[in-house]
A and B are shown apart, each in its own frame.
Chain A
């Protein structure tokens, strides 16, 4: 079956603009995660959804970042008033249930560049 997909694969925007990044998880996976990977670093956790609700959003860096998953499937990560420091690869992952004991399957990521 299809894996986790993310769109767009690349996004270039200007400082101060608003961007939306989309994640399509594996069908049937109830848990969905967003991570951010800066150059030369490992993925950094942002937020985790169980169904439609955010079960853990402790990794969101500030209130410019917001994510939704209205129907418990596709998720959108929204970044307002983008800053150059937001440039990174944004990774999405999904798992059959919650993070305990369940393997996370990662998408290829969206590379965000803020000019």
Chain B
């Protein structure tokens, strides 16, 4: 079965600073990978996804993520964080050889200081 580890429970950055949120997955074959954002009172929103092809994936709101098979990682990055980016971020992995239902990590809470 697949699994996801998000090692950072909280990340604090200053507005305008760059951001990297870490995600490591465990799955025997090529995974489907996702990043979702959850703002207070809002539903989960898909930021970006990787199924195959180019390992650098562009998403909405200026986010990108890079799939690194050798490191089993799919880290999320943004060059300049805005105060409105403060939210909970979830990495998820889907089994490309199975049911495709995503398994989510526990999330990383992003705090943005002015």
Residues of A within 8 A of B (CB): 3-4, 33, 40-45, 48, 56, 91, 93, 98-101, 103-109
Contact = CB atoms under 8 A, between A and B. Distances in A.
A98 B107 contact: no
Contact of B43 (A33, A44, A91): A91
A91 B44 contact: yes
| Interface of chain A: mostly helix, strand, loop or mixed | loop
A106 B43 contact: yes
Contact of B100 (A98, A108, A109): A98
B9 to A, nearest CB: 8
A67 B112 CA distance: 39
Given A40-B106, A41-B107, A42-B107, A99 B101 contact: yes
Interface residues of B, number: 22
B90 A43 contact: yes
B62 to A, nearest CB: 19
Please classify the interface of chain B as helix (H, G, I), strand (E, B), loop, or mixed, using the class held by over half of its residues. loop
A4 B44 CA distance: 11
Given A42-B106, A99-B100, A103-B46, 6 more contacts: A45-B103, A48-B101, A56-B99, A104-B46, A105-B43, A108-B43
Q: In the complex, which of the residues B4, B45, B101, B103 has the most CB atoms of chain A within 10 Å of its own CB atom?
A: B101
A42 B46 contact: no
Contacts of A42: 4, 90, 92, 104-107
B94 interface: yes
A108 B101 contact: no
Contacts of A56: 99, 101
A43 B104 contact: yes
B51 interface: yes
A73 to B, nearest CB: 18
Contacts of B53: none
Contacts of A91: 43-44
Contacts of B36: 106
B41 interface: yes
A89 B49 CA distance: 24
